[in-house]
Amino acid sequence: MLRIAITDDHTLFRKSLSLLINSFEGMQVILEAENGAELLEHLKHTEVDILLLDLQMPVMDGFETSSILQSKYPAIKTLVLTQLNERDTISKVLKSGVQGFFTKNTDPIELQNAINKLNNNGFYFENSFASIIQGIAKETEVNGAISMDKGLFSAREHEILKLTLKEYSGSSIGEMLNISPKTVEKHKANLMEKTGAQNFIGVITYALQHEIISIDDLKR
């Protein structure tokens, strides 16, 4: 059972979202909070797998909250719920260590898919974010924040990256490549270590910067 937390200052939205998620198989909302400070207080005695996090909140917003979570609770996977899709906003959120983005005007049924993909693949973003993430990657490259090294990934790591982007699970990738799921996860960990990424979205951004993948690889 996936343990879900929701942090959003709009009570009606938060309660409605909780009812929706509790109707999904294998998921249960065990924690609700109206801002980041309240969430952090609850996390002292409540274990959570997935956090649905609003960005714009009083007291402690989603940006500050996600940065603290990355330091104190790195095992929690965070799916940002937002009405914003500007490049500067997404760039700021990426740096805070979140693993996924979900716009509030998306079909609610897609949320179940998003949570499962975040849990299984370590990342999730809608197709509408693909071009934004590519723009952030190219902007970082122009600003000289990275050094070019297209040969950093091994052939096997490149295979695993491409298959992960196609949303195959670790077990499915293992079967396709005749390796164990544990080995697949080890390769993913190596990719994050090599790129200095906090999560798999960081690996994707790096791969875009170095033209290892293209925007077409991001669109699903």
Query: For 18-65, what is each residue's pLDDT tens digit?
Result: 999 999 999 999 999 999 999 999 999 999 999 999 988 999 998 899
CATH number for 210: 1.10.10.10
Residue 153 and residue 100 share a domain: no
- Residue 139 placed within a domain: no
Bridge pairing between strands 50-54 and 27-33:
unpaired
Between 21 and 158, the more confident residue is: 21
Mean pLDDT, residues 54-79: 90
Q: Which two tokens stand for residue 89?
A: 């906003």
Between 127 and 164, the more confident residue is: 164
Q: Is the pLDDT of residue 7 over 80?
A: yes
pLDDT of residue 22: 96
CA 6 to chain centroid, in Å, comes to: 15
pLDDT of residue 197: 81
Place of tokens 């929701």: 6
Instruction: Supply angle C-alpha 215, 199, 43, rounded to 5.
Output: 135
pLDDT of residue 147: 45
Residue 105 and residue 9 share a domain: yes
Q: How many domains does the chain have?
A: 2
- Residue 27 placed within a domain: yes
Mean pLDDT, residues 8-23: 94
pLDDT of residue 87: 65
Report how far residue 60's alpha carbon sits from residue 173's, in angstroms, rounded to the nearest whole number: 39
Output the pTM of the full model. 0.78
- Residue 142 placed within a domain: no
- Residue 19 placed within a domain: yes
CATH number for 84: 3.40.50.2300
Residue 106 and residue 16 share a domain: yes
Q: 97-156, pLDDT tens digit by residue?
A: 788 888 887 888 889 988 998 998 888 877 666 666 666 666 655 444 444 455 678 889
The one-character DSSP state at 150 is T
Backbone angles phi, psi at 5, to 5 degrees: -120, 145
Domain containing residue 90: 2-125
